Amino acid sequence: MNTQPIGIFDSGVGGTSIWKEIHALLPFENTLYLADSKNAPYGTQSEKKIIDLSIKNTQFLVDKGCKIIVVACNTATTNAIAALRAQFKIPIIGIEPAIKPAALKTQTKAVGILATKGTLSSALFHQTTDLYASGITIIERIGEGLVQLIESGNIESDEMTALLKQYTQPMVESNIDYLVLGCTHYPYLIPQLIKLLPKNVNIIDSGMAVAKHTKATLESNNLINTQIISSKNIFYINTKNTQTMASLLGEHRKVDYLDF
């Protein structure tokens, strides 16, 4: 029946944006989400530290019986996915900034990308950009401070608006028509970004693509849950602030503190 859960982790609450896409596409799949908020942000840490934390999170989910792992974090994916796939036998799905679709669709030949330092400095990100975005001007910006504000529930704050203005201004001046959100926390900033950006700028992220990839991987490995009853969805966070994550999830979802 394949009732074991899909294991999902992020450095914090941002990966819930990916959980929502997965749950919408695969509503009968059981899920187990781990927010390593105690160690957030990952984006400012060394590659070695990001790999160690990603292995620890994956081991936890594997020990809980997960049948597949979704790394709902661009920073963990771009720095640690090879190490995870080398160490664990079950399928591991990652998330990378949607540079390819943006590069294919841009009319102005200028694309903005907002991501963490860890993602923008990773070898995997550079490989993807070299492969798909030659001839396109890429304006990269580190979203310094954004993850911390989201983790503490300050999405609508003046500080957030000021930072978003600061980071997107050079992109607008370079005439971008696509903004790639290269961090799973950032989809929660879309309402603010729409207000700040010119109308012709499209905002894209990789959430839907990851959900489709997860579904295809479950299918090709014969792992789809055939039990068509409402799913069990468990959310763990390792800080005492369970409230921010619960409010991002909505629908009165229960978030449990885990000493991890």
Q: Which residues bind ligand DGL (CB under 6 A)?
A: 10-12, 14-15, 40-43, 73-75, 116, 119, 147, 183-185
Minimum distance, C-beta of residue 1 to ligand DGL, in the bound complex (Å): 32
Nearer to ligand DGL, 37 or 225 (CB): 37
Q: How many residues does the chain have?
A: 260
- 66 carries an active-site annotation: no
Which SS3 state, helix, strand or coil, does residue 133 take? coil
Minimum distance, C-beta of residue 74 to ligand DGL, in the bound complex (Å): 4
Minimum distance, C-beta of residue 185 to ligand DGL, in the bound complex (Å): 5
Minimum distance, C-beta of residue 178 to ligand DGL, in the bound complex (Å): 18
Minimum distance, C-beta of residue 145 to ligand DGL, in the bound complex (Å): 10
Element spanning 51, H or E: helix 47-63
Nearer to ligand DGL, 126 or 232 (CB): 126
- Of 73, 120, 149, 176, the active-site residue reads 73
- Of 61, 183, 197, 210, the active-site residue reads 183
Between CA 59 and CA 196 the distance in angstroms is: 41
Nearer to ligand DGL, 12 or 112 (CB): 12
Percent of the chain that is helix, strand, coil (3-state, to 5): 45, 15, 40
Neighbouring CB atoms inside 10 A of 153's CB total 15
Nearer to ligand DGL, 66 or 181 (CB): 181
Torsion of CA 109, 115, 117, 120, to 10 degrees: -40
Nearer to ligand DGL, 225 or 236 (CB): 236
Tokens of 154: 């300050």
Q: How far is Cα of residue 257 from the mean position of the Cα atoms in its chain?
A: 21
The residue number with the shortest CB distance to ligand DGL is 43
Strand-pair partners of 69:
7, 92
Please provide the DSSP assignment of 103-129 as one string: HHH-SSSEEEEEE-HHHHTSHHHHHHH
User: Which amino acids are annotated catalytic?
Assistant: 73, 183
